[in-house]
Structure 1
Amino acid sequence: MLKISNLNVSIQSVDILRDVSIQVDTASMAGLVGRNGAGKTTLIKSVMGILKPKSGTIEFDGVDLIQTPVNLRNRLGIGYMPEDRRLIPDLTVEENILVPAWANEQIDAHKRLGYVYDLIPELRAFAPRRGQQLSGGQQKLVALGRALMIGSKLLLLDEPFEGVAPALAQRLAEVISRLQTEGMAVIFSESDLQYSEHLVQKVYSIDRGAVTERPLKPRL
Structure 2
Amino acid sequence: MLEVRTLDVAIAGTPILRGASLDVPPGTTAGLIGRNGAGKTTFMRAVMGLLRPEGGAILLDERDVTAEPAHVRAPMGVGYMPEDRRLIPEFSVEENILLPVHATGAGVDRARLTMIYDLMPEIARFADRKALALSGGQQKLVALGRALIVGHRLLLLDEPFEGVAPALAQRLIEVIGGLRGEGMSVLLSESDHVHSADLIDELFVIERGEITRRTAQAA
Q: What's the secondary structure of 1:19's corresponding residue?
A: strand
Please tell me the residue identity of whatever aligns with 1:126: F
The answer to whether structure 1 residue 113 and structure 2 residue 113 are counterparts is yes
Please tell me the residue identity of whatever aligns with 1:57: A
Q: What's the secondary structure of 1:38's corresponding residue?
A: coil
- Mapped partners of 1:52, 1:175: distance in 2: 32
Residue of structure 1 in register with 2:169 after alignment:
169
- Within a 5 Å distance, the mapping from 1:1-220 to structure 2 comes to 1-217=1-217
Please tell me the residue identity of whatever aligns with 1:160: P
The Cα shift of 1:156 comes to: 0.5
The Cα shift of 1:187 comes to: 0.7
- Mapped partners of 1:70, 1:174: distance in 2: 29
- What's the Cα RMSD here? 1.1
Q: What's the secondary structure of 1:155's corresponding residue?
A: strand
Please tell me the residue identity of whatever aligns with 1:214: R
- Mapped partners of 1:70, 1:163: distance in 2: 27
Q: What's the secondary structure of 2:73's corresponding residue?
A: helix
Is the 2:97–2:143 Cα contact (8 Å) retained in structure 1? yes
Is the 2:112–2:149 Cα contact (8 Å) retained in structure 1? yes
- Mapped partners of 2:68, 2:51: distance in 1: 13
- In structure 1, list runs of 5 or more residues that go unmatched: none
Matched pairs, number:
218
- Mapped partners of 2:119, 2:184: distance in 1: 14
- Mapped partners of 1:91, 1:73: distance in 2: 23
- In structure 2, list runs of 5 or more residues that go unmatched: none
TM-score (norm 2): 0.96
Runs of 4+ in structure 1 off by over 6 angstroms are none
- Mapped partners of 2:144, 2:123: distance in 1: 10
- Mapped partners of 1:162, 1:50: distance in 2: 21
The Cα shift of 1:114 comes to: 1.2
- Mapped partners of 1:83, 1:69: distance in 2: 21
The Cα shift of 1:73 comes to: 1.5
Q: Identity of aligned pairs, percent?
A: 54
Q: What's the secondary structure of 1:181's corresponding residue?
A: helix
Is the 2:98–2:108 Cα contact (8 Å) retained in structure 1? no
Is the 1:80–1:147 Cα contact (8 Å) retained in structure 2? yes
Over residues 76-129 of structure 1, what are the superposed CA-to-partner deviations in whole Å (9 max), with x where a residue is unaligned?
Answer: 011000111111111111111111111112224322211211111111111111
Is the 2:29–2:187 Cα contact (8 Å) retained in structure 1? yes
Please tell me the residue identity of whatever aligns with 1:79: G
- Mapped partners of 1:132, 1:8: distance in 2: 36
- Mapped partners of 2:69, 2:80: distance in 1: 16
